[in-house]
Structure 1
Amino acid sequence: MPDATPQWQRDLDDKGYAVVKGVLSPERARYYTEQALRWASEFGFDEKDRSTWTGDNLPVNINGLVNDYGVSHERWVWEARLEPSVIEPFGQLWRTDDLLVSFDAINFSLPIGPHARRDIEPSAPWPHIDQQPDPVDRPPLQHELTQGLLAMTSSGPQDGGLVVLRGSHKLLPRFFEETGGVKADQSWGGLNYYTFTDEDVKWFSRQPGVEEVKVETEPGDLILWDSRTVHWNRAPTAEQIRVVVYVCYAPRSMASEGVLAARRRCWDEKLATTHWPAPFLVIPREEYGPPKRGEEVDPMDRIRPKEEPVVTERLLKLVGF
């Protein structure tokens, strides 16, 4: 019989990443883009006034990634997480509808260059995986999570976005065996983050089938990638403002009662998490503190969102109630 597995799922297994096309309509993606622009305007940013395209008029961020100011629980961010067509691929992957969702970040990036944002230079790549390579409580380097980002804007070659080393997810055991194992100064341990040096990337690049790929999308596309896939974010340098909502779902069965209780606390207090819904929970504010401008806490800092999400039965289930 013909293989009924969707092409995107075969790509995810084979390449370590996939693009699920048209998860949202262009109109719906534009709605979320407009919500993000409106949200950013409270920091002084004006899409039509390029004199405001500076860090002073933007939320504190890391290469466009924002998980402070309650943005992870803004109404429009939760609306995106609750879109049935966004949840569906994760249900297919995990073969269950009983899912939890991460309280993850957004990405709001302005193009960098003389024509756009001039106060910074494009960041250098920071290749990494979002998975601990040497856990002591479970087998190492197994598939543990599929990450996702929902692209609200187009992402061409120069528009910024996700870059992956295609096929790298299958090579990690051999990589660590041949390069001397896990390096303590590159590992974040239980925070599930491991960085790779330029020499490490060269090792992957020498392997047959591995290729650096800038993943291109249209508004409303969903990118999925294996958390073992080496990846990083490329800054935009063309004209397109980048708007992304990071989305990640995992089965409720992966969460202990302690993790479920911590998730409910994050919901009550409107705290962000990293991309892990379960079986781990990392709360950036408790690990790294509030956003700062220089040495001072940003006066715009807040924990709760500007617009609280609409509470529904589906939302509460995704939280962990």
Structure 2
Amino acid sequence: MSNRNQINYCLDKNQIHIDYTTLTPRFSVTNNESLNDGIVHLNEHGYAIFSDVMLQDEININKDLLWNFFENIPGHHIQRHDPTTWSKNWPGNGSFGIINDCGIGQSDFMWNVRSNRNIKRVYSQIWNTNELLVSFDG
């Protein structure tokens, strides 16, 4: 990355080219101006990253809820403190990190995330309404 105009790509595990030289802005949900700037960025670029969505204790609660979900999937035998149980037993599509089975959509984890006040705030801004519906996927 010696030349600033040169784009350096790296291949990820799926052989997809990733450009790590492009800076991606973050938009805080706790600041109205930043949140609005994020919506503008989303409309112009097709994506936006919102920060400050959860407090650390909320993050920890959601991590525990997700691990509780994994550890209680029948027949998968996943244990959070034993990484040797993860690869072979992991649900969903391991190549892309998408879990669409085992009841993830109705899990306590997903409902806790869906009902987070800041996540609702972002989607209310995006859709310009407080009357939101959620999907049942994970």
Question: Could you state the TM-score of these two structures normalised by the residue count of structure 2?
Answer: 0.64
Alignment partners' CA distance in 2, 1:71 and 1:6: 31
Task: Indicate yes or no: 2:59 matched with 1:44.
Answer: no
Q: Which has the higher strand share?
A: 1
**1:100 positional shift:** 1.1
What's the CA shift string for 1:147-189, capped at 9, x where partnerless?
A: xxxxxxxxxxxxxxxxxxxxxxxxxxxxxxxxxxxxxxxxxxx
Who is 2:135 aligned against? 102
In the alignment, which of 45, 48, 55 is matched to residue 18 of structure 1?
A: 48
Q: How many residues align?
A: 101
**1:26 positional shift:** 1.8
SS in 1 for 2:61: helix
Task: Indicate yes or no: 2:84 matched with 1:85.
Answer: no
- Tell which has more relative contact order, 1 or 2 (C-alpha 8 A, sep 6+): 1
Alignment partners' CA distance in 2, 1:53 and 1:100: 33
Alignment partners' CA distance in 2, 1:102 and 1:49: 32
In the alignment, which of 52, 58, 61 is matched to residue 90 of structure 2?
A: 58
Equivalence map 1:240-319=2 (5 Å)? none
Task: Indicate yes or no: 2:99 matched with 1:69.
Answer: no
Preserved contact between residue 69 and residue 109 of structure 2 (Cα < 8 Å) = no
What's the CA shift string for 1:208-232, capped at 9, x where partnerless?
A: xxxxxxxxxxxxxxxxxxxxxxxxx
Alignment partners' CA distance in 2, 1:76 and 1:51: 23
**1:50 positional shift:** 2.8
From the superposition, tell whether residues 60 and 25 of structure 1 become closer, same or farther in structure 2 (CA, over 3 Å).
same
Alignment partners' CA distance in 2, 1:59 and 1:69: 7
User: Structure 2: which 5+ residue stretches go unaligned?
Assistant: 1-32
Alignment partners' CA distance in 2, 1:67 and 1:48: 23
Who is 1:7 aligned against? 37
Q: Which has the higher helix share?
A: 2
User: Structure 1: which 5+ residue stretches go unaligned?
Assistant: 106-321
**1:61 positional shift:** 2.9
**1:64 positional shift:** 2.1
| Code of the aligned partner of 2:123 | F
SS in 1 for 2:48: strand
Question: Could you state the TM-score of these two structures normalised by the residue count of structure 1?
Answer: 0.29
Alignment partners' CA distance in 2, 1:26 and 1:18: 21
Alignment partners' CA distance in 2, 1:71 and 1:13: 29
Alignment partners' CA distance in 2, 1:94 and 1:49: 42
SS in 2 for 1:53: helix
The alignment yields a C-alpha RMSD, in angstroms, of 1.9
Report runs of 4+ in structure 1 exceeding 6 Å deviation.
none
What's the CA shift string for 1:69-104, capped at 9, x where partnerless?
A: 211011231121011211111111221111211112
